[in-house]
Structure 1
Amino acid sequence: MMVCQLGLVYFILTARIVSAQVLKYALKGQDITLVPDLSEKPDAIIWVHDGINVVEFNVMQERPYVYPTYEKRTFLDQNTAELTIKNAKYEDSGNYDLKLKTDNKYDRLKYTIEVIDKVTKPNISCEMINISQAMLVCTTECKCPHLLKFKWRSQGKEQTGPNLNITLSNDHDDQVYQCDVSNPLSKEIATFSAKDCFPGETYLARIFIRPDIMPILTTAVLILVTGFIFGYMFRRKYRCSVCLQKIRKRISSRRQRTLAKVPDIAKCGNDFAQQGSEEALMSGKNEGKGGSFVFKARPSPSRRNQTKKEPGKKHYQIREMEGTALQK
Structure 2
Amino acid sequence: MLQNQKQLVHTPVMAQDLRMGRQYGEYLVFADVAGQGRRQDASSGGSLAVLYPDMGEPYRSIFAKIIEGIESKSRLPVISIPIGQKLEAGELNTQLKRSGVKVVIALGRQGVKLANNLDREIAVVVGGVLNIPESESRSMTGVSLMPDPVLLFSRLKSLLPNVKRVIVVYDPKNNESLIKLARDAAKQHGLELLAYEARDLASAAHQYEAAFTSADKRDALWLPQDSTTVEEGSILPLVLRESWSRGIPFFSSSFLHAKKGALFALYPNNLELGHSLAMAAQSALSGDGRKSGVSLLREVLVAVNLRTASHIGLNIDYQSQRSFDSIFPEP
Which structure carries more relative contact order (alpha carbon 8 Å, separation 6+)? 2
Give the TM-score, by structure 2 length. Answer: 0.18
Which structure dedicates a bigger proportion of its chain to strand? 1
In our comparison, the structure showing a higher alpha carbon Rg is: 1
Give the TM-score, by structure 1 length. Answer: 0.18
Which structure dedicates a bigger proportion of its chain to helix? 2
